[in-house]
């Protein structure tokens, strides 16, 4: 199941990212929904305005994935990560994820996202952890 293809075909849901898709999957599982199109629209608004430029150190990072991804998917995962990492400390924390979605994510979805992606249980999500998680959802 691919998120981008579902959301990009849905009016008003342009700009779906892997992170929106990941959170939508969490919401869909909890709600028992089969169609993610509506959930994607409800989880968070599409990207507004230009994305933050991905720093060269992140562009140059060679990351492994549990299953193959295309170069464009990897670029999207890195862009998603940078867009959420407001303080540029190279990890996502719960405050950044919540701020990115402007309150459009519930406590249960946020908690489940961290349970699923924060492998080392540090309370933050590294780029490698995020890429692993996003790759498994595509």
Give the integer Cα–Cα distance in Å for 85 and 79: 10
The DSSP code for 113 is: H
Residue 1 scores a pLDDT above 80: no
- Parallel/antiparallel/unpaired status of strands 124-126 and 91-93: antiparallel
Residue 128 scores a pLDDT above 70: yes
- 30-40 b/e (C-beta count within 10 Å ≥ 16 → b): eeeeeebbbbb
Residue 131 scores a pLDDT above 80: yes
Please state, as a whole number, how many other Cβ atoms lie within 10 Å of the Cβ of residue 48. 7
At 83 the pLDDT is 93
Percent of the chain scoring above 90 in pLDDT: 53
At 51 the pLDDT is 74
At 42 the pLDDT is 44
The DSSP code for 45 is: P
The DSSP code for 50 is: P
Q: Are 77 and 135 in contact (CB under 8 A)?
A: yes
At 43 the pLDDT is 46
Residue 34 scores a pLDDT above 50: no
Q: Are 58 and 29 in contact (CB under 8 A)?
A: no
At 120 the pLDDT is 97
Please indicate whether residue 125 or residue 6 has the higher confidence score (pLDDT). 125
- pLDDT, one tens digit per residue, over 93-104 is 999 999 988 878
Residue 29 scores a pLDDT above 80: no
At 31 the pLDDT is 54
Average confidence (pLDDT) over 23-51: 52
């Amino acid at each position: 199941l691919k998120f981008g293809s579902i959301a990009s075909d849905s009016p008003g849901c342009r700009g779906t990212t892997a992170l929106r898709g990941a959170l939508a999957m969490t919401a869909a599982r909890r709600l028992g929904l089969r169609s993610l199109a509506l959930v994607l629209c409800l989880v968070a608004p599409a990207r507004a305005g230009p994305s933050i430029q991905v720093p060269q150190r992140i562009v140059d990072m060679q990351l492994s994935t549990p299953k193959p991804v295309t170069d464009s998917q990897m670029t999207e995962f890195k862009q998603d990560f940078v867009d959420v990492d407001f303080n540029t400390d190279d990890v996502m924390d719960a405050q950044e994820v919540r701020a990115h979605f402007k309150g459009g994510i519930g406590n249960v979805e946020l908690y489940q996202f961290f349970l699923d992606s924060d492998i080392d249980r540090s309370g933050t999500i590294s780029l490698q952890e995020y890429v692993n998680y996003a790759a498994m959802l595509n």
